[in-house]
Structure 1
Amino acid sequence: MLLQQIATFVAAAGESGHEELAPLIAPPLVIGGSMFAILLVLMFITLSYSNLGRRHEAVEEHADPHRQHTNKHDHGQAQGH
């Protein structure tokens, strides 16, 4: 039953003829090229931040017992003073 309805809908859609396409703001190549250029710029911006993790040596964070919210990664060094 459902397949007959789907087949009827597809047949009716095919008989409707050529539909008018929505107007574009520019030719498709211009739209695609500008999207490619924007994504390329964003990729270069992202790649420009790739060296931030290698800029300095990692510094051990000191355990400050006076912090209101101590981090959970100090393995209990800040507690027990």
Structure 2
Amino acid sequence: MKASKIAYKPIGLALGAVSGMLAGAAFKQAWKVLGHDEDAPDATNEHRSWREVLLAATLQGAIFAGVKATVDRAGATATRSLTGTWPG
């Protein structure tokens, strides 16, 4: 295994935690913008409709995936510019 890949592991873990927090905040904002005052529904909440539960899950998944890809790519790009080696 390359030294750059090993060195990047802790940075990647930290970036993963940061991306999770950013994505959570972005999802809460998006859910409010869509006109929902309450938190997103749990899949097992019997008082919420299928439509609302599936919309929330789909939106949350898309936001989390987009934020994670953005943060991961930015981290890898920064690592390459600092070390000259792509961490992947």
TM range (shorter): 0.3 to 0.5
TM-score (norm 1): 0.38
Q: Which has the larger radius of gyration?
A: 1
